[in-house]
Amino acid sequence: MRFFSFILLATFALMLAACKEQPNPSTTVLPKDTNINQNIAGSTTRQEEGGDARLYTNTSQPSNSPSSFFDESEWVGTWKWDQSTKNDISTIKIMNIKEGKLFFSLNAYHVTNPTSDEGHNGELADETAVLIGNEATYKNGKYDFELRMLIVDHHLIVMTKGKESPFGAFAEVDGRYSKVLENSQASNKTSDISKVQKSSDSIIGDMLKEQSFSVKFESLGDCEFVSTIEKKEDYKDQPHFYVNTSDTVSELKYELEWPAFLDSISAVSFRDVNGDGMKDIIVIVNFMTGAGQMGAIPFSKVLIFKQTESGFAEDKVIEKKARKGVPYRILSVQDVMIGLKTDLKDSVTNAWIRLQTGEYTTGSNDLTAPTLVIKESTGDTVLFSLDSGYSSIKESTERGKISEIVSGRATTSYEEMIYKEGDYELSFYLINNSDLYVSDNGKSHLGQNVYVKGIYSLKK
């Protein structure tokens, strides 16, 4: 009898031990070095063709385990879409969190015509999302639209789904957002400069709030990245970039290879560009020369600061590879990442292949406005049609004269495409994959008083 009781006790003990080892099926246990490109609390990422890794979360279970508890102060503030450019902007402002509800506003804008700044704009103003664990969900029944937000590695991840978007047909909001450094935070950093180590640099210029972020670097920990503009008497304003830690302010030094006028700091992103597992800093600065037929069109300078164990240093070799990998005049962060993976001998061909087909216009609604249709772009050939005209009567509702190229075929000449017919020559230059600059050699072909020179943008 005692032997039988002993067997029962031993069996019970083994069953109890097995239960303790069995993980909770509703909780995902992650290794310490899990990042956005790995599973995150039931989430997965998908690399879209020609794009960035986007986060998609399994919605079968809410993330309500104790490991999902959050720091409210990390949520509250203004967040900017990491892929924002001069023509594509998305910002989220989280005002406060109370009783499981997150109060926020979101604004998204997409410029379809850079000449007139016309585009699609959408806004969610003073909306409320339900917060469960580390994930906030907003639903809009009018649009059958759902927006979800979560904090991952000090970044805000945004995902949407639904039949219709409240932001317009082309404005995007999905992806990663970085917190914008508030003016009060920048003032505190500046006032503390006298207290930090002697090796610190002084902050020069006026801070650009929209291009300054809180970020966590592997070698330095929690930091503030600050962009400033130093005004110059010759109008050649100079951008400065700083990384602020808890006790030092370090300016990121770089070299400009040409004199030019600053147009904008169009993008800042924190990406691993060399595969060492540490976030590097990508900055896209746009300049204008003011000279020549394209002097008023900005061109992008790429700055890449590679992270090391002791800080950051400009890497001109990687910059050169990124810039030459995509021969657009104006770059996005996505273009930079594509350029880093592109063989130089294929860069021009690949760039023209990515040119979108469709109808391109100059944005003008008057009767002289030309229309360009890109029918096909194979990399070494562009098939197109072009028509233009003018009205001799100002009040006329019809063109007085129309000239056209019905079936044009342009071929590669270095980085541009050239169409020739007799002594007439038409040139196409890539601004990006949906904007072109077109000019001709001034020879009479389309008719007197008919002009086609200018910036053409894809009509969407």
pLDDT for position 451? 73
Query: Where does residue 368 rank: exposed (0-12), middle (13-18), buried (19+ CB within 10 A)?
Result: middle
Using an 8 Å Cβ cutoff, are 386 and 405 in contact? Answer: yes
Tell me the helices (H) and strands (E) count for the chain, helix number first.
6, 27
* pLDDT attached to residue 328: 96
Mean pLDDT for 31-58 is 34
Average pLDDT score over residue span 217-245: 90
Q: What is the pLDDT of residue 296?
A: 86
The burial of 414, by beta-carbon neighbours within 10 Å (0-12 exposed, 13-18 middle, 19 or more buried), is given as exposed
Q: How far, in Å, CA of 313 to CA of 303, rounded?
A: 10
Mean per-residue pLDDT, 128-137: 89
3-state SS class at 270: strand
Which of 252-256, 297-301, 394-398, 402-406 tops mean pLDDT? 297-301
Backbone angles phi, psi at 189, to 5 degrees: -65, -45
pLDDT of 8: 46
Q: Report, as an integer, the average pLDDT of 187-198.
A: 38
Q: Phi/psi at 257 (nearest 5 deg)?
A: -90, -5
pLDDT, position 33: 36
**Residue 204 host element (H or E):** none
What residues does 268 pair with on adjacent strands?
283
Tens digit of each residue's pLDDT (9 = 90 or more) over 405-420: 889 999 999 899 999 9
Q: Name the token pair of 306.
A: 């590679």
Check: CB of residue 107 under 8 Å from CB of residue 90.
yes
Give the span between the Cα atoms of 294 and 288, in whole angstroms: 9
What are the residues whose beta carbons fall under 8 Å from the beta carbon of 81, sequence distance 6 or more?
A: 88, 89, 90, 91, 158, 172, 173, 175, 176, 177
Condensed to tens digits (0 to 9), the pLDDT of residues 122-131 reads 778 889 999 9
* Alpha carbons 457 and 437: distance in angstroms, whole number: 9
pTM across the whole model:
0.60
**DSSP state letter for 210:** G
133: amino acid identity, one letter: G
Written as one string, the DSSP assignment of 30-97 is --TT--TTS-BTTEEEEE-TTS-EEEEE--SS---SGGG---HHHHSEEEEETT--SSEEEEEEEEEE
